[in-house]
Structure formats: structure tokens, C-alpha cells
Chains A and B, each alone.
Chain A
Amino acid sequence: MGDFVFSNLTRIFAWFAFLLLLCVLFSLCVASAPSIHAFGFHFLVSDSWDPINGHFGALSAICGTLMTSVIAMLLGVPLSLGIAVFIAEISQGKISKIVRTLIDLMAGIPSIIYGMWGLLVLAPFLADHVQPFVSDAAQGIPYLEDLFGGPSLGIGIFTAGLILAIMIIPYISSTLIDMFRSVPPVLKEAAYGIGATRFEVVRKVVVPYVRKGMIGSIMLGLGRALGETMAVTFVIGNSKQLTASLFMPGTTISASIANEFNEATGLLYPASLLELGVILFVLSFLILAFARLLLLRINRKKAGAH
């Protein structure tokens, strides 16, 4: 009798996570129904955001989200790869332990602190010391001119991407370190034995061995970058204008919601923001699910090898 009660009690709570997922999706869809009805598919491809006249489109927010995430990946993945290789392959003993602790510290800092630091320290630094030079250097070169033009504001899409890159470094590198350490030492010894350099060992032995897991952890970082809210809200500038320049203010899905939801009045305005939320949820769920599947497969392989 006790067993029956207890096992079913735990079963109910275990299903909680699953149930919650369905509830969230369902309730957000219901709540955003007015906007789904009003705009339909057009919502995804329209860039008008006009609360006064009641026209809403998600394009600028989606573009901003994708652009900041792509910048975050382009900057963050090589950096975390470098850090992971340093900790797992280059440094030894104490140094490796200290660096690992520092990277773990980075993961612990709340995102609002990154946002504040970005707004009050990083953005002025970029505006004074980096952006003017980059803009000047890109002057006259087609495409690059558009990409890096505009006034040096400090805040903008590039700054948001940079902050995101910094924030995902600890997550990606710590999973990478664990994976690098799971490579059987014999394989590496064999490669070193035939005279391979460290670069060759990493490129030809370690990376191929953990490739699937690497993609998984990078996707996990991407999932975080897509959904990250506070740090981005601080530095993105929240402008619904679509621009080609990375140094201009833009917006992301999560920043739009964070900035505007409390002020949204009427029926369509909050519903549109909720629909943005649905898009973000579905997008990040797909990416996170894919990442977890890849990582799960790696773990199974590891467990099978024992």
C-alpha cells in the first residue's frame, strides 16, 4: 500500500517536467491567439512594429536574435575551443586547475551582472577605442563599409553578440574539457609516438574522436545565446529598425519582450510579444533538444566503452 502511494507520487512529479513543457506551449499559444489570427504567417516576414497603429511583425527581432547569436558563435566557439585545449592538453597540474576554476567562476556570474558590465564598462570602451578604428578601416570597402559603418555608440548588435560570446564560453569550454579528457590516452600517445605535434594531435586525433559531442556542446551554447535576455537587453539599444550595420542598435526577441511587455496595452500588442515568445521557445527547444540528443549519444558511447 505504502509502496503504491509512494511510487505513484514520485511518478506524478517526474512527469511534471514533461507536463510543464506542454502547458507552456499551450498557454503561450492561446495567449498569443489574437496576434496569430490578426497577422498569420505575415507576422514572421514583416518588419513593421507600430504599437500606435497596431501593426506588428517579428522580422527585426528574429534577425537581431540570429545576428547576435551568429556573432556570439563566431567569437565564442574558437575562444572556448582554445581555452578547452589549453586546460585539457597544454597546461598541467596547478595552472590547469586554476584556469578551470576561473572559467567555472565565469559561468556562475549572473547574466544581469554581465549586462551591467557591458553597458557601463564594455560599451564605452568599444565606443572610444574600437569602433572608430574599425569603421575607419572598413571605409571604402564594399559590404564591410555597410557592416561596420555608423556612429560609434558602443551599444548595438555587435556589443550584444560579444557579451553573449563571453557568457557562453564557460558552458562550451567546460563540456569540451570533459570530452577531451574522455579521449583514450593510448590514441594520443600513439600519435605523439610517430612524431605528431600537439596541433596535429588535437586536429587529427582529439577533435575527430569527440566530433559529435563537440557539435552538441556548441549547439547547447547556441541555445543559451538565443534565449539569453538580461545581458542583451542592457546593450542592444532596443531599436526595431532593421540595419545592415553591426554597430547600430537592434533588438532581439527576448530583449523586446523584456523591454516592452510591461508597457504593452491593448489586445494585439501583448499578444504579439507573446507570439515572439512562442517563436523563441520553439526555436530554442528544437536546438536544445538536438544538442541534448547528440550529447546523450556521446555519453552512451562512453558508458558502453567501460
Chain B
Amino acid sequence: MKRMQVTRKISNNIFSMLCISSVLFGITILSSIFYALIIHGFPALNLHFFISDTPAPDSPAGGLRNAIVGSFIITTAAVLVATPIGILAATFLSEYARGKKIASIIRFVNDVWLSAPSIIVGLFVYTVVVHPMGNYSAFAGAISLAMIACPIITRSAEDMLNLVPNELREAAIALGLPKWRVIIHIAWRASKQGILTGVLLAVARISGETAPLLFTSLNNQFWSTNLSQPIANLPVTIYQFAMSPYRNWQDLAWGGALLITVVVLFLNVLTRYFAKSGGKRS
């Protein structure tokens, strides 16, 4: 009897220790990443970093101005395309097909898209946009990012629309409004904050995406804001520079990595803030 008690206690303690050590493992990894980013990335973030274009290998000066602007252009274009599509799709799922079989099928496919490999999206856009058009372009990059952003926006917008209380809709219908105006004026307006959260989440996700940009917008050593031409962007630049043997390129890659991480984590914090204040209200 005594021995059984002891073995049970020991196995319980070992289990707890294992759980705690896996948490410690996670925290160690996370701090190692942040430490490396700050130690290597911070010195690179000087004024030159923001006002000069990507340099040739081993030349002293240079920054990531064109990549930062390029990333901004592609991301903005992608979000502008994806947001209306995502919201309209969510509206159908939540307002017209709620509880129907069709809604669950579409939601299922949408969920699969949420975690589908992003490199496949890049290949697809290459075959249907880049190849027929004959050259890599910022436009193609934006399409591939929009394809990744869309399911995220649909998912969170649908969740938010489902949270809008039905009494609000009923009250509006009772006043004689047609359904489409009820949706636009009541449902969309009530879930504005939640939809914004989804858009921010999507921006956070796509601003670090690299794989789909490799064969769509490629990269550009020079300043370009032309949507039909290859454009520089932060992720691909970081990829090329970090893999290169040149010291100054690696430094710039660390700087870019720090910049992206800060932006992405800031967006995540912002989302959390919005989600929290939105949740309180409903």
C-alpha cells in the first residue's frame, strides 16, 4: 500500500516537472529569438536604414527603404482586395445561410484555406498571373497575399456577425427596412470593431509572408512603385540577405527582421485590445 502511494506521488511529480520544463523550453526559445533580434537588429536600425535603397554586396552604406515601401504597397493592395471579399463572404455565411448545410461546407473549405501551405498560393498565382503576363509584378504579389488574407477576414467577420444580437435585426425589420439595408446599417455597423480586428490580424499574417512573394513579386534592387513591375519587399529581401555571405547584407537582414517582428507583434497586441473592448460591449 505504501509503495503504491509513493510511486503515484513520484509519477505525479515527474509529470508536473515535465510540464514545467516544456514551458521553460518555450520561454527559452522565445527569449533567444528576441535576444538575437535585438542584439543584431538594433544596431542596424539607423537613419540610413530608412532612407537608402538596398546596397550592392560589401558596399558600406545602404538601407531598406525600397523594401519597406514595397512591402507597404503590396500589403495595402492585398488588404484592399481581400477585405470586401472577406466581409461579403462572411455576410452570406452569417446572414443568408446561417444554420444551412451550404454554410458549413463553405466554412469548412475556408478553414482549410486558413492553414493551407502559402507556397502553393505562390505557385498558383505564378501559373495564372505571372506566366501569362510574362513578368513578375507587385500586382501578382498583392493577389497572392490577398488570397491568404481573405479566409482570415471571412472567419473573424463571420464570428463577429454571429455575435450581433438578433433583436437588433428584428427591430430594424419591424421598421420596414429591406434585409440588405438591415445588414449594412445594423449588422455591419454593430460588428465594425470585430471586422477591423480581423483585418488587422490578416495584415499581421501577410506582412511576414515570404513564400508566395518569391515567384510573384520577386524582388528589386532599385526604387520602384510600379505595380506592373517586380517590387522590393521586406520578407524576400530578408531571405536573400540572410542567406548571403556578405556581412552588410546580413546586418540589414537582422534590421529588417527586427522591424517586421515589431510591426507584427504590435498588430497582434492591437488586435487583442480591439477584441477585448469589442467583447465587453456585446
Contact = CB atoms under 8 A, between A and B. Distances in A.
Task: Decide if A and B are genuine partners.
Answer: yes
Interface of A: 2-3, 5-7, 9-11, 13-18, 20-21, 23-24, 27-28, 30-31, 78-83, 85-87, 90, 99, 102-106, 108-117, 119-121, 166, 169, 197-200, 202, 220, 223-224, 226-230, 233-234, 254, 257-258, 261-262, 274, 277, 280-281, 284-285, 288-289, 292-293, 296
Nearest to A264: B215
A236 B75 CA distance: 29
Contacts of B40: 120
Given A20-B113, A105-B268, A229-B118, A110 B180 contact: no
B238 A112 contact: yes
Q: Give the interface residue-count category, chain B.
A: 35 or more
Given A85-B19, A197-B8, A27 B124 contact: yes
B165 interface: no
A272 to B, nearest CB: 12
Contacts of B12: 197-200
Given A17-B106, A24-B120, A110-B261, A229 B89 contact: no
Interface in B116-157: 116-121, 123-124, 126-128, 131, 147, 150-151, 154
Contacts of B110: 17
Nearest to B20: A86
B117 A86 contact: no
B117 A24 contact: no
What are the 9 tightest A-B residue pairs by CB atom distance, in nearest-first order?
A: A110-B208, A227-B117, A82-B22, A10-B92, A6-B180, A14-B92, A197-B12, A199-B15, A229-B211
B15 A116 contact: no
Contacts of B11: 197, 199
A46 to B, nearest CB: 21
> Dominant SS at the B interface?
helix
A226 B238 contact: no
A289 B107 CA distance: 12
A28 B127 contact: yes
B91 A10 contact: yes
